[in-house]
Amino acid sequence: FPVTINSDGEVQKRQGNRNWRNNNPGNISSAGNYAKSKGAIGSDGVYAIFPTVEMGRKAKQDLLFSPNSKYYNLGIEAGMLRYAPPQHNPNIRQYIQSILQATGANPDTTIGSLNPQQQQTMMNIISKWEGFKPGKMTIMQQPSSTEGMAGGLAGAAAGGYLTKSLGGATTGYKYRDWE
């Protein structure tokens, strides 16, 4: 399970689905520069890690619905085959069908032509199909002055997951899954 060590020394254990732990409800890849340009603070080796779920959701929204996005002018079917290719998602046809049914769109409806309500519906369905489900966060150690931070940093150096909060922004990380 990933462990987060905050700048004040608080240690948290995060148990749940990978994309919830990564604040990445769309399972956006960490390859390339897109995720980093949207505020990702690192990678778990495959998917981007965002400091907040809101930032991860906004990155997914921009990826799909920004006019300069590679998905914007694609039909829903073509876009989803690109977003979640069959080799990574054997149930992609059901995935696409659930989007079409919920939005009332057809396979050739361009992603960029969806109205705001349809966009939110599509985003929610993607989160569901990508396995996003809130997990459990447990505080394992309360902050304790600078000693807590020093101990937390030592633990992160040994392979933990470190997030450093500075004025509401989170920077820096080291990731490892422990069982």
In this prediction, residues 53-78 reach a mean pLDDT of 97
Concatenate the DSSP letters of all residues of the chain into one string: --EEE-TTS-EEEEES-HHHHTT-TT--B-SSSHHHHTT--EESSSBEE-SSHHHHHHHHHHHHHSTTSSSTTSBHHHHHHHHS-TTT-TTHHHHHHHHHHHHT--TTSBGGG--HHHHHHHHHHHHHHTT----EEEEEE---HHHHHHHHHHHHHTT-EE-EEETTEEE--------
**What is the C-alpha to C-alpha distance for residues 108 and 157, in angstroms, rounded to an integer?**
50
Per residue in 5-50, pLDDT (tens digit) is 766 778 888 889 999 999 999 999 999 999 999 999 889 999 999 9
The pTM for the full model equals 0.74
Pairing of strands 3-5, 161-162: parallel
Q: What pLDDT does residue 3 have? A: 76
Per residue in 105-141, pLDDT (tens digit) is 999 999 999 999 999 999 999 999 999 999 998 888 8
Name the region of 13 (left: φ>0; alpha: ψ -120 to 50; beta: rest): beta
Long-range contacts of 147-156 (CB under 8 A, 24+ apart): 147/9, 148/8, 148/9, 148/10, 149/7, 149/8, 149/9, 150/9, 151/9, 152/5, 152/6, 152/9, 152/10, 152/11, 153/5, 155/3, 155/5, 155/11, 156/5
Per residue in 151-175, pLDDT (tens digit) is 444 444 444 444 333 233 333 333 3
Beta-bridge mates of residue 67:
none
Q: Is the dihedral of CA 142, 145, 147, 149 positive or negative?
A: positive
